[in-house]
Amino acid sequence: MAERAGFLRGLAQAACSRHVRTGMGQLGSKRVEVRASAASAQVQLAREEVLGRPTRVRYGVLGITFAIAFVMYIDRAVVGAATPWIMAEFGLDKIAMGWTASAFNWSYALLQIPGGWLADRFGSRLILGAAIAWWSMFTSATGFARGTFSLALTRGLFGTGEAAAFPASSRALVPWLPQEQRAFGQGFQHAGARLGGAVAPALVLTMMTWFSWRMVFHLLGALGIVWAIVWYAYYRNLPEEHPWTNRAERELLPTAPARSRRNVPWRILLRSRSIWLLSLMYFCYGFVLWVYLQWLPTYLVEARHFKTEVKLGFAASLPLLAATLANPVGGWISDRLARSWGTRKGRAAVSIFGFAVAAVALVPGVLVDSASIAMLCLIIALAGLELTVAVSWALCIDIGNYYSGSVSGIMNTFGNIGGALSAVVVGYLATLYGWSQPFIVASALCVLAAACALRIDPSLSTADARS
């Protein structure tokens, strides 16, 4: 096997060297790129002849993280879809409902950093599997709520389980995707979340024509338990631990350092200006996202007079369906630009563009008289916002490397503080000043987020800083 590896290295070096020299001497840098690409293809063919075709377990890992994000956001968004009925049954106004719903965001935000640390320390297989089981139990328990206190308690405990989810799932992809596919992988994973959020209003409101809102929570909780079992059975923390990978696939993936229980370099992380800028950017993102997740159905009922369950569910789903497409597209574009312009410019360009689109589209989305034009603007705004998500999580990996779970936890803590404040602040603003004000505030936060994106520099990772 050592001879085969040596043969491949020699072939790669000879092929690339020969074609690069020829290109340099004849037609310059563009020809070099073409010939180097051809050399890479020849080496890949030679690799397959020696090692066989790579297995495709890495795509299974990516697919299952998509599915987990899908289930997680259905469980998260279901309370927003059911909010008008919960408010009516418990006699809550918007301010009281905002505080109750924010119990999820506060517990979720406060446990982000511990969740990321646990994933870095003990691996995503155990931590994410336990998190899925925990939040699924309290999704089901929400259906037993009998008043404001019990509803807030179950949503808070639900948030403690989901807190580890994105740091652990983001960390789970680090050893399973090549570096040049990081942003696409994060975008694809988060597309599952947005698809879940998009499906939730239509799914929940359709199920409520057959069942009570309480039974909907019970059924979704049972589905989550199934996915916890699937995750733990399929995933492995390192490719070489998975029984279905072959050597050819493992050689395509990043070389993981020997697993150790080294301490996370918190001093380095907390002194990083880029991490603080990234966290502030994600705070702004989280506030705007939760305007949609928690309050869009209520806004459509009160301000746009959508009355029937089917019409309301369809309208509330459309922005999140657009977000589902925008997530992987933003990641794919960012990866392409990062290869051409460098990581810093490639990541920043997509973030700045996405936040700018959201800032511009939110204003007419709430001010125009036509409900159809307003919905179109709100769809465009959320699509622009979601172009930035894959970039944010890819930046966690760029900056954090094998400590990306902890960096993700810091960033997502701020994102969910923004979400918690959104749940409360929107309730107050809509009650005191009308529904236009929350969207104007959201637009201003998008401008601030774009300014943060301009100054983030992921060029020095924490791994480099430690060495």
pLDDT in tens, 135-194: 999 999 999 998 889 999 999 999 999 988 888 888 888 889 887 787 788 888 888 887
Does the structure show a pLDDT above 80 at 38?
no
Radius of gyration of the chain, Cα coordinates, nearest whole angstrom: 23
Residue pair 68/162 in contact (Cβ under 8 Å)? The answer is no
User: Do residues 327 and 191 touch, judged by C-beta distance below 8 A?
Assistant: yes
CA distance 214 to 141: 9
Is the pTM higher than 0.85? The answer reads no
The better pLDDT of the pair 111, 447 is held by: 447
Contact indicator for 230, 60 with CB cutoff of 8 Å: no
State the average pLDDT for the chain: 82
**Per-residue pLDDT at 2:** 45
Task: Please name the amino acid found at residue 352.
Answer: I
Asked whether the predicted pLDDT for residue 260 surpasses 50, the reply is no
| pLDDT in the model for residue 104 | 87
With 50 as the cut, is the pLDDT of residue 460 above it? yes
Residue 30 scores a pLDDT above 60: no
Buried b (16+ CB within 10 A) or exposed e, 135-171: bbbbbbbbbebeebeebbbbbbbbbbbbbbbbbbbbb
3-state secondary structure the chain: CHHHHHHHHHHHHHHHHHHHHHHHHHCCHHHHHHHHHHHHHHHHHHHHHHHCCCCCHHHHHHHHHHHHHHHHHHHHHHHHHHHHHHHHHHCCCHHHHHHHHHHHHHHHHHCHHHHHHHHHHHCHHHHHHHHHHHHHHHHHHHCCCCCHHHHHHHHHHHHHHHCCHHHHHHHHHCCCCCHHHHHHHHHHHHHHHHHHHHHHHHHHHHHCCCCCHHHHHHHHHHHHHHHHHHHHHHCCCCHHHCCCCCHHHHHHCCCCCCCCCCCCCHHHHHCCHHHHHHHHHHHHHHHHHHHHHHHHHHHHHHCCCCCCHHHHHHHHHHHHHHHHHHHHHHHHHHHHHHHHHCHHHHHHHHHHHHHHHHHHHHHHHHHCCCHHHHHHHHHHHHHHHHHCHHHHHHHHHHHHHHHHHHHHHHHHHHHHHHHHHHHHHHHHHHHHHCCHHHHHHHHHHHHHHHHHHHHCCCCCCHHHHHC
Answer yes or no: is pLDDT of 18 > 70: no
Q: How far is CA 178 from the centre of its chain?
A: 18
Query: What percent of the chain clears pLDDT 70, i.e. is strictly above it?
Result: 84
pLDDT value of residue 3: 46
Using an 8 Å Cβ cutoff, are 282 and 445 in contact? no
What is the sign, positive or negative, of the torsion defined by CA atoms of 263, 264, 266, 269? positive
The two structure tokens encoding residue 417? 């503080």
Mean pLDDT of 91-95: 87
The predicted structure's pLDDT at residue 296: 86
Residue 354 is predicted with a pLDDT of 96
d(CA 446, CA 428) in angstroms, rounded, equals 20
For the cut 60, the answer to whether the pLDDT of residue 20 exceeds it is no
Query: Under a CB-based contact definition with an 8 Å cutoff, are residues 70 and 196 in contact?
Result: yes
Least confident among 81-95, 129-143, 430-444: 81-95
> Mind listing the pLDDT tens digit for each residue in 274-293?
999 999 999 999 999 989 88
Indicate the range of 212-221, 394-403, 444-453 predicted with least confidence.
394-403
Which pLDDT score, from 0 to 100, does residue 7 have?
43
Instruction: Say which residue, 304 or 42, is predicted with more confidence.
Output: 304
> What are the backbone angles phi and psi of residue 238, rounded to the nearest 5°?
-135, 145
Q: Which amino acid is residue 166, in one-letter code?
A: F
- Distance in angstroms (rounded) separating the CA atoms of residues 22 and 148: 74
Residues 328 and 311: their CA atoms lie apart, in Å, by 28
Query: Rounded distance, CA 215 to CA 32, Å?
Result: 62
* pLDDT for residue 461 is more than 50: yes
Note the pLDDT tens digit of each residue in 181-237. Answer: 877 888 888 888 878 877 877 788 788 888 888 999 999 999 999 999 999 999 999
Mean pLDDT over 107-129 rounds to 88
Residue type, 274: S
* pLDDT at residue 324 greater than cutoff 70: yes
* Biggest alpha carbon–alpha carbon distance for the chain: 79
Structure tokens given for 1: 């096997």
Banded pLDDT at 120 (limits 50, 70, 90)? confident
Architecture per CATH, domain 57-240+263-466, reads as: Up-down Bundle (1.20)
The answer on pLDDT for 5 being more than 70 is no
Q: In angstroms, how far is CA 100 from the centroid of its own chain?
A: 24
Q: How far apart are CA 405 and CA 315, in angstroms?
A: 35
